[in-house]
Structure 1
Amino acid sequence: MCYLLIGNISALISDDCTEPLVNAQLRVYLPDGRYPTKNRPKTDILSGPGQLTKAMVEAKRDRLLAETGLDERGNFKLTWEQLHLFTEPLELDICLQHMPEQADIRGVETHYHLGTVVPNWARSGQRYVAAYAYIIPVECWSQIRANYGTWIIAGTVKRLKSREGQAQLRIEAYNAGNHRLLGCARTDENGRYQLRFSKRELTSRLILVGEPRQEKGPDIYFKVYRDKQLIWEEDAQTGMMPGRKSVPPCCTININIRDTIRRKASGYVPGWLNNWAVTRRKSSLVNH
């Protein structure tokens, strides 16, 4: 008999925003027979995962039933063959090697125990099918991202008066400390965006795998573009305000833009100075 377990693993960025676990590895284990099933704690999809040491992962290797990778949406499919009706509880773990914005980095592998569950199997033709979903709480996900030295900022771009989400805009985030571009993203049809960056964007020096993570987050300010036209920009001092200073690895920042951007003083002063200089020169010639 074939068994098929399908589902999704994601993480909360805020109360109403999630991101999928991309390219992570899901592992399913048979339960440890030393512990009675009735004494196993029930699990909740919103309960925090517990980190596993390398020794703990190695100790359960012989009980590994199946494993698979998660796709770009955090979805998975797991299959295995079993001769009898499968009613045992399953242990589910997740293995991470990097965040999506660190695709070129390898070697930082962490393991987390999601929970022990008894799937609700349903017969479908010649196989049994069950579903499983897990959502990592924002506090846990923020800590996991901190361990990898990465940030994700989510939010909505709206016009100040209409309060409607603005679609197809490019959002650029800058570090107020050195004015470096941290990352950019585009808004969807509802004006929502998700912007990611890592600690290597915070400094010009090379960041090596295994270096101590930066505890303090950057101070953020934004620029907003429609195509190539700048339609809204914030002063760097905005990065010193509450909610923008030392942003945590997971945070929500909504951006309210006015209909037009304010013309910078630098575009007006040179012309004023030039007219003043010409007037002074003419006055000097007349007097002489």
Structure 2
Amino acid sequence: MRHIIKGNLAAYLCRDCSEYLSQVKVRVYLPQSDINLAAVSAAEIKDTFKEVKEEEIKSKENRLIAEAETDMNGNFSLIIDEKYSRSSLEIDFSCGTISRPPLTPKKGKERQFHITTFVPQWKITKEEQILVANFSYIIPEKWWCIIKGRYFDIWTICGRLTDCQTGKPLAGITVIAMDADFITDDELGRNTTDSNGHFKIYYTSADFKKTFLSPIINIETDVLPPFASGPDVYFQLEYSGQRFALETKSNRRDNVGYCLCVKLCSKELIPVEPSIPPSFTHFGLTQHIPIQTGINLATGKTLGGYAFFSSVNLVGTISKKINAQPMEYLFEYQEVTNPTDPLNPAGWNAVVPNMIDKTLIGYLWTLTGDVSNPVNYDPYYINGTGTENTINFNGNWIQVPQDSNFAAHVDAEILKLSTEKLTGVTSIDMSMPTSEIGNSSVSPARPHISNRYFAIRMKQREVGNSATEVVAGTSKPIAIYNVLYQNVNKHGSWAHTTVNNQYLALSVDLEEIISGSGGCSKITTDLHVKYGARNENLGSVSLSITGPHKPGQSFGFNPIVLMSSPETYGSTQLVFTPPTDTVADLLPCAYTISISATALLTTGDSNLDSYYDFVSFCKI
């Protein structure tokens, strides 16, 4: 009958914090013949645990009878030969690597440790008809912390985070361990609390021996006695991308050992001021277009060839204070005739409040006391409405909220500029007979409107203190185009209608229908497609046709070549394969010709959608 030892190995990091010994080797030996088995078997494990030196490992090799490796949960199984089933057994384990989530295991010299001499108590299992003896052991923290730290340079912080007022655990919050140094503070590591508020942070000595000369020179940068080798630890929190000051350097725990056990509580969430200085750096949250290097100076457009329109996110960083005083900021603009024109130092105008669309600039963070949703964040806006938190203006200056739990945006939107309020919106009435489709639409009644060019800059200061004003980011002049087309022809003469408020005027029609008796005129041998697309920043115009074809036959249109601004127009015909086919060779049926066009306009977050038109006809 088979004899199996089923066991589990774990270790304490603190009295209420443990971890499994995963992927360690468990070795079972026969005891020495001259040993006092009764004494060693009765001894407490705390008195028998020891490191096994290399010469001793070699001397007991001939007594090794079984070996297995623990799984991720510290479990192992060992098959014992029946002839040894009545013997006492020595239990050792060895490890050459130590887990340090979320990093790869730390490797080192393989070391072996003796746990105890074990007398198996065999019990038969009815299901499998085997004899099983159970063995489990939890290494005391004084041993395990030394093994991990001294031999494998794995330092551990084990703790629990709760709400100071309710005592309830705070789940789903990232705890960040910081090392307070004379030169610069290092982040040791981080971990997210579980449903009971527990967390574990693993780090190595390299994480707290960084200096401004790293990696050339790595030392712990204490400059005062006792020059101990451990880090000086304090804690910060992070939730939904925002960092909070749970403690400061003055709360640090000096020169901690290999294992640090902490109980933390938070009574309020005080956001950490960003390390990025207040500044205006990009256009658009999504496309994140740099205000200088992302703009083509020759055209004022993005490097992809896009002009701006509608509402544009001005992206950057703000903080509650500058020079330890409350901060306020504003944006200014300056129009130039050409994007290459030099800026006039005296030519700046303030972006006034009604030019600003509703803008989210940060959040108020509070603890909820709800274990499943521990933190509530309440948005703060420029030009908020109703009961929303909204900033105060000091003239045209935007005052940054000073609430202790306010977290200002970092590398995010800090003002949403309505370029339509900046430039105004020009409407062009495109009313015209369908017979004019395919010809130029520019006329005194429908004038050519070009892009306009504006440089944008941010200024900041202490509230009300003009002497502290500084510029915090100036863009190259950007191209802006806010034109809407009214009464644009759609569906040609077939099902004629007009549409309004179009950012791109796009129409298609058929000469044969225009010149026929009505929109339902039929096509026999000729088909001339007329088209027109208008926008200062046209990107593409293309035609397609949908309808049946004969076997071996295909037809379509040659690519449309864009004209110079502000429009592309003309007339074209089908191109057939085989080239000897003509319109007369189309099958008698209904067909639809579609036109699509794009204009290269962007908000920095999204681009203008494609526009479409179509006209249908019957071939007889």
Same fold (TM over 0.5): yes
- For 1:188 and 1:53, how far apart are their aligned partners in 2? 39
- Determine if the alignment matches structure 1 residue 267 to structure 2 residue 320: yes
Contact 2:228 / 2:255 at 8 angstroms: preserved in 1?
Answer: no
Residue in structure 2 matched with residue 138 of structure 1 by the alignment: 141
- For 1:186 and 1:280, how far apart are their aligned partners in 2? 41
Correspondence list, 1:198-237, <5 A? 198-204=204-210, 205=214, 216-237=229-250
Change (3 A) 1:23 1:271: same
TM-score by length of 1: 0.84
Other structure's SS at 1:56 match: helix
Change (3 A) 1:64 1:279: closer
Whose strand proportion is higher, 1 or 2? 2
How far off its partner does 1:105 sit? 4.3
Contact 1:141 / 1:250 at 8 angstroms: preserved in 2?
Answer: no
- Determine if the alignment matches structure 1 residue 56 to structure 2 residue 56: yes
List 4+ stretches of structure 1 deviating above 4 A.
45-48, 262-266
Contact 2:5 / 2:132 at 8 angstroms: preserved in 1?
Answer: yes
- Determine if the alignment matches structure 1 residue 173 to structure 2 residue 177: yes
The residue type equivalent to 1:19 in the other structure is E
Residues 82-139 of structure 1: per-residue CA shift (max 9 Å, x gap): 2x47110000111121221274543411111001010111122432101111111111
- For 2:39 and 2:48, how far apart are their aligned partners in 1? 20
- Percent identity, please: 26
Contact 1:3 / 1:127 at 8 angstroms: preserved in 2?
Answer: yes
Which protein is bigger by CA-based radius of gyration? 2
Residue in structure 2 matched with residue 154 of structure 1 by the alignment: 158
Return the match for 1:256 from 257, 265, 272.
265
Whose helix proportion is higher, 1 or 2? 1
Structure 1: any 5+ residue segments left out of the alignment? 208-213, 282-288
Correspondence list, 1:123-134, <5 A? 123-124=124-125, 125-134=128-137
How many pairs align? 270
Change (3 A) 1:146 1:280: closer
TM-score by length of 2: 0.41
Correspondence list, 1:1-288, <5 A? 1-47=1-47, 49-82=49-82, 84=83, 86-101=85-100, 103=104, 105-124=106-125, 125-147=128-150, 148-177=152-181, 178-204=184-210, 205=214, 216-239=229-252, 244-261=253-270, 267-268=320-321, 269=325, 271=327, 273-278=461-466
Contact 1:6 / 1:76 at 8 angstroms: preserved in 2?
Answer: yes
Contact 1:94 / 1:114 at 8 angstroms: preserved in 2?
Answer: yes
- For 2:137 and 2:239, how far apart are their aligned partners in 1? 37
Other structure's SS at 1:109 match: strand
Contact 1:11 / 1:19 at 8 angstroms: preserved in 2?
Answer: yes
Structure 2: any 5+ residue segments left out of the alignment? 217-226, 275-318, 329-460, 470-620
Residues 159-190 of structure 1: per-residue CA shift (max 9 Å, x gap): 11111111111111111113111111111111
The residue type equivalent to 1:261 in the other structure is I
Change (3 A) 1:126 1:274: closer
- For 1:251 and 1:140, how far apart are their aligned partners in 2? 14
Residues 233-255 of structure 1: per-residue CA shift (max 9 Å, x gap): 4222322xxxx111111221111
- For 2:173 and 2:247, how far apart are their aligned partners in 1? 15
Other structure's SS at 1:23 match: coil
Residues 37-58 of structure 1: per-residue CA shift (max 9 Å, x gap): 3343424355562111100011
Which structure has more RCO (C-alpha within 8 Å, separation ≥ 6)?
A: 1
